[in-house]
A and B are shown apart, each in its own frame.
Chain A
Amino acid sequence: MSAEQRTAIVTGAAGGIGRELVLGLLGGGLGVAAVDRTAAGLAELAEMARQRQRGADLLTIEADLARDEAIDEIVSRARGRFGTIDILVNNAGVGQATLRTDNWQRPIKFWEVTPDQWRLFVAVHTTAPLALARALVPDMMRQRWGRIVNVTTSLGTMIREGSPTYGPSKAALEAMSAIMAKDLAGSGVTVNVLVPGGVTNTAMVPLEAGFDRAEMIQPAVMAPPLNWLVSDAAGEVTGRRFLAVHWDPALPAEEAAAKAGAPVAWSGIATMPIEPPRRA
């Protein structure tokens, strides 16, 4: 175990998945800057951390990732509290149902989406993760240790009917994750995707959707794989995607990871583009 405390920024920290990720990292002894749009949610999260005797290692940051200015504010406040940031968890998500509350019963069609609505999803799901990574990666590379974990969504959800803004904007983050991993190969900074693996019991899926909440994937499954990904033991693991629902915490971490992991994005099924040889 490192003598120095590792620190993380987690976005979407007050949501169902976000709070499990934050509390899991705090439980592992890390310092966490928790970013979310909702002050009330962050206050609840801070209270939960205090109940676990981990309040002192949590910094809450209220910010709206749709605003470009938010990025600098988040990074400077997090650095001010913790110094160099070692880990970035891009978890924030805008639910498809924010465009239409009964979207599960009446799925929205792509032609009903306005360009401004599309831009909001891209801002939170793709632009903000890229901007945060850009701000933090130079320090991570300098110290030859870093972790970027992007929470996208199931490959099926990326192309599901009724998901015309959520799906494609998360798919963009998945493709970005694949390229980030390649750009950072050998640098000590790893980039991976972590997703629940299906419909998860959070506020993003309203009660009206009609699921038995106990049969949904529970957000707590996300914490064990994240804790492993940010550890020293996963230092060579990069460019992969993990489905938390297949992570068996009873197994040794490497076996759990082998069962839950696959190459990131669609790199395992995509044929290479035909390319003529290039002259030197």
Chain B
Amino acid sequence: MRLEGKIGIVTAAASGMGRAGALRFAREGAAVGVVDLDPAGVEAVVGEITANGGRAHGLVGDLRDDDFARAIVHRTATAFGGLDFVWNHVGHPGPASVEGVDMADFDIAIGLNLRTVLVTTAAAIPELRARGGGALLYTASTSGLVGSAFSPVYSMAKFGVVGFVRSLAKRLAPDRIRVNAICPGPIDTPMLRVFVARPDQQGTQTQDKEALVAARGRQNPMGRTGKPEEIANAALFLISDEASFVSGAALPVDGAATA
């Protein structure tokens, strides 16, 4: 039980990588606040956790609402008696365009990738301090390490996440709070179907999305997309006390794509 006695939150946890993380963390002994916009998805994840004897708490809402982004922290800390970790997995693919970009799309991308995680982080830090330390994990992307030709705005946001993580790690080290980022390559989730064919991306709207996903996998050195559980495995390590000397890291989990 690698997270025995720990209490934490996973955002965007109703599907894909977030769901894989919430389920794995609960199996490893953590009490988990499961956050998402999708009520049925949250209920299913919470149900699966509790059916297996774990502890979980569903929190349904839109993280773009600052009050909700803060409330997930306070409600989880109140329900379970404190807070040890947050996996800020919430994000958004962003627009493909630069010339002719719709600035409303930019606002959504920056809002979901950067603003929400800052609001949640600010609320979580005192709670982690009160428990004598903890772990903050952020989902960046390989596009936060190298430029994404597909979406410069997405890279803008995800490089921002990596910068935030490196800076916050230095500030919070005396509080024994570790701060890291996980940088997934192409992972087989529902959201990957959006990444390979962004709504404003030229030439992809008429193509079969599954074929685009398969092509993206073939481009990877390992010849495939990654599985949500492979991201959850890395997230588990970074969040657990086994990573006690790891902070400020942006860990690629990408089949050697950015090596």
Q: Chain A: residues with CB nearer than 8 A to chain B? A: 236-240, 254-255, 257-259, 261-264, 267-272, 274
Interface size class of B (residues with CB under 8 A): 10 to 19
Q: Is B38 part of the contact surface with A, judged by Cβ < 8 Å? A: no
A258 lies within 8 A of B130 (CB): no
Q: Kindly state the separation between the CA atoms of A261 and B71 in the bound complex, as whole angstroms.
A: 11
Closest-by-CB residue of B relative to A190 is B81
Point out the residues of chain B lying under 8 angstroms from A257, CB to CB: 78
Known: A237-B78, A255-B75, A258-B75. A263 touches B133 (CB 8 A): no
Bits for B150-182, please: 1 = Cβ < 8 Å to A, else 0. Answer: 000000000000000000000000111000000
Specify the chain B residue showing the minimal Cβ separation from A242.
B78
Q: A257-B78, A261-B78 are in contact. Are A272 and B130 (CB under 8 A)?
A: no
Minimum CB–CB distance for A137 against chain B, Å: 18
Instruction: Specify which chain A residues have a CB less than 8 angstroms from the CB of B132 in the assembled complex.
Output: 272
Contact B74 A258 (CB under 8 A): yes
Tell me the bound Cα distance from A268 to B131 in angstroms: 8
Contacts of A236 in B (CB 8 A): 79-81
The residue that A239 contacts in the complex, of B74, B129, B130, B174, with Cβ under 8 A, is B130
**A residues within 8 A CB of B71?**
255, 258-259
Q: Are B78 and A238 in contact (CB under 8 A)?
A: no
Some 10 contacts from A to B, beta carbons below 8 A apart, are A236-B80, A254-B78, A258-B75, A263-B77, A263-B129, A264-B130, A267-B129, A267-B130, A269-B126, A270-B129
Partner of B129, one of A258, A268, A274: A268
* Contacting pair B126 A238 (CB below 8 A): no
B75 near A254 with CB under 8 A, answer yes
CB distance from B74 to the nearest CB of A (A): 4
Interface assignment of B127: CB less than 8 Å from any CB of chain A: yes
- Which residues of chain A have C-beta atoms less than 8 A from B176's C-beta? 272
Quick one: given A263-B126, A263-B127, are A272 and B133 in contact (CB under 8 Å)? yes
Whether the pair A237, B174 counts as a contact (CB closer than 8 A) is: no
Q: Among the listed B81, B126, B130, which residue makes an inter-chain contact with A237, where contact means beta carbons less than 8 Å apart?
A: B81
B175 touches A263 (CB 8 A): no
Interface pair B126/A239, CB less than 8 Å apart:
no
B127 partner, pick from A259, A268, A272, beta carbons under 8 A: A268
| B80, A272: Cβ atoms closer than 8 Å | no
B residues near A268, Cβ cutoff 8 Å: 125-127, 129-130
Q: Closest chain A residue to B76 by CB distance?
A: A258
Contacts of B174 on A, CB cut-off 8 Å?
Answer: 271-272, 274
A254 to B71, CA, bound (A): 11
Q: Are A261 and B74 in contact (CB under 8 A)?
A: yes
- A272 and B81 in contact, given A262-B126, A267-B130 (Cβ under 8 angstroms): no
A contact residues around B78 at 8 Å (CB): 237, 240, 254, 257-258, 261
In whole angstroms, what is the CA distance A255 to B132 when docked? 25
CB distance from A100 to the nearest CB of B (A): 36
Q: What is the CA–CA distance of A41 and B174 in the complex, to the nearest angstrom?
A: 51
Note all chain A residues with C-beta closer than 8 A to B77. Answer: 240, 258, 261, 263
A-side contacts of B130, CB under 8 Å? 239, 263-264, 267-268
Q: Does B255 contact A (CB under 8 A)?
A: no
Nearest A-chain residue to B72, judged by Cβ: A258
CA of A235 to CA of B100, assembled, Å: 55
0/1 string, B55-89, CB within 8 A of A gives 1:
00000000000000001001101111110000000
Known pairs A258-B75, A261-B74, A272-B176; list 5 more (Cβ under 8 Å).
A239-B81, A261-B78, A268-B126, A268-B130, A269-B129
Residue from A239, A258, A259, A271 within 8 A of B175 (CB atoms): A271
In whole Å, how far is A192's beta carbon from the nearest beta carbon of chain B? Answer: 10
**Measured between alpha carbons, how far is A237 from B130 in the docked complex, in Å?**
14
| CB closest residue in chain A, given B128 | A268
Chain B residues within 8 Å of A270, by CB: 129
Q: Which of A254, A262, A267 contacts B79 (CB 8 A)?
A: A254
- Mark each residue of chain B from 101 to 133: 1 if its CB lies under 8 Å from any CB of chain A, else 0: 000000000000000000000000111011011
Distance, CA A238 to CA B75, complexed state (A)? 14
